[in-house]
Structure 1
């Protein structure tokens, strides 16, 4: 099972204790997957249609818990993709339909059905707990979450731009910064920051998934930190080795062209130690000297040896040029 699927499995088992929260979650499911239909005999019925078993299960649980009305469940194979099942959750009976539509604020007191989904959502979702429940329902119906081992990506894919903006508004209430992008016929509300996704899982009360996500995130951050440190140390080692090789080259050039005895005592001792201990650090070389000196002092002497080697090379270049002219 995917990580997103395991999150939904956890959420589908949660049934809010408060009736108003159950209605808020049902409102999200109905807005995204429900509709009012008319049968062949002219009678109206409510239908929630989905290919997602978790959505079907949660819709059935909420309808039974809130309204205690008979709920019919039908399962059929997709017309084109025979291996895909479609689930139909249906409520029949005028009294039952009216009670549900009124609870969802989709019917006024005069019995008129309002088509303003966003309007009734604002009236339904006043409390913080109801906002949590609504987001839980929206994620079950239209959300997905990538495997945190691969990437951090949470999204809701809906057909209405207004509904996408409403989801972003609900997320902003919990200080979650989401963005909206158009993808073919969908409006996608998405979050890509790991810490924000953790906060979202806490908002919808998917605490088991939250702990798993956090564990994976911590391991990834430690692994990345170690890799950065290793890369940094490797680069530093490479620079140190290259610098030591250049120092040894300069000292050998001085030794061949003027001899180390012509150097001042401090420079000569430093040069001899570098030749004897090519892998030693500047600090280690400084401790071997008598009297010991610091890292910066050793570095100063080696730079001076480099300058002497460069001067010898320049003199040799001038001398060779004169000989060629003669």
Structure 2
């Protein structure tokens, strides 16, 4: 089961505590994965179509607990793919309350967002990327969902894709917050664990890359210094160099893998890194000058 399906399984088990929140979640389920109609006799019909068994059970349970009515359920299996889908239909004059659900309270907005995700949402595998989205049929529905999401200080955006309108979040921290808003606390902790491990891995990789780069620079510099010293040894002779340069050249030749700090500590009068670097740079400048002459 994917991470997204794990989230839906958890959220399907979260039941609203208040009736108005149950109405908001039912409204979202029907709006994003079904339809609502008013019959000639005034009765209200709510229909839900889903391939997720847990979502079907959630819809059925909310109807029973909120209105004390049951939905008729039809289970179909695709002859081509073998996928199972669930069709649920409920009829009652009382169901008009679902279609009039209000999203004024924060708790109702949470329930509405949860229902929207259950009906038409997905979250990518956090080990690969961070992406939360809900697919909407119309720009009006997308805007309604976006406003509900952004009321929790998030930055939900809308993009049109293949005739649908997708409300999405891209940042890991915001998706963690979204799971909290939807009350998917187990999934939230699972995502946080992945984020922590990824951050630790990235930190270690950055340090390793930095150390590798520094080591590479140190080795390259040492190789150039050795080449310059040997060139001067052939053309001029080490003994003909000024005393300070002669001393650092001899130490570098003897200890080709030593750092600048280590070289400085080996001198008769110890020098710091900047002093050693200054002398080696003088040797390099002298070698370059002689190469050009």
Residue segments in structure 2 that go unaligned for 5+ positions in a row:
none
- List aligned pairs for 1:133-172, cutoff 5 A: 133-172=111-150
Instruction: Please name the residue that 1:226 is paired with.
Output: 204
3-state DSSP class of the match of 1:292?
coil
3-state DSSP class of the match of 1:175?
coil
3-state DSSP class of the match of 2:129?
coil
Distance 1:38-1:174 versus aligned 2 partners, 3 A rule: closer
1:50–1:88 CA contact under 8 A, matched in 2 = yes
CA-CA distance at 1:158 after TM superposition: 1.2
Cα distance in 2 between the residues matched to 1:265 and 1:35:
92
Give TM-score scaled by structure 2 length.
0.94
CA-CA distance at 1:38 after TM superposition: 8.9
1:98 aligns with 2:108: no
Instruction: Please name the residue that 1:192 is paired with.
Output: 170
CA-CA distance at 1:46 after TM superposition: 3.2
Cα distance in 1 between the residues matched to 2:73 and 2:144:
30
Cα distance in 2 between the residues matched to 1:170 and 1:269:
74
Distance 1:264-1:141 versus aligned 2 partners, 3 A rule: same
Give TM-score scaled by structure 1 length.
0.85
Residue 287 of structure 1, aligned match among 265, 273, 278: 265
1:54–1:140 CA contact under 8 A, matched in 2 = no
CA-CA distance at 1:282 after TM superposition: 0.5
Instruction: Please name the residue that 1:65 is paired with.
Output: 65
Cα distance in 2 between the residues matched to 1:179 and 1:246:
54
**Aligned-CA RMSD value:** 1.9
2:142–2:158 CA contact under 8 A, matched in 1 = yes
CA-CA distance at 1:49 after TM superposition: 2.2
Cα distance in 2 between the residues matched to 1:266 and 1:57:
85
Aligned residues: 291
- List aligned pairs for 1:296-315, cutoff 5 A: 296-315=274-293
Distance 1:150-1:8 versus aligned 2 partners, 3 A rule: same
Instruction: Please name the residue that 1:11 is paired with.
Output: 11
Residue segments in structure 1 that go unaligned for 5+ positions in a row:
107-119, 316-326
Instruction: Please name the residue that 1:85 is paired with.
Output: 84
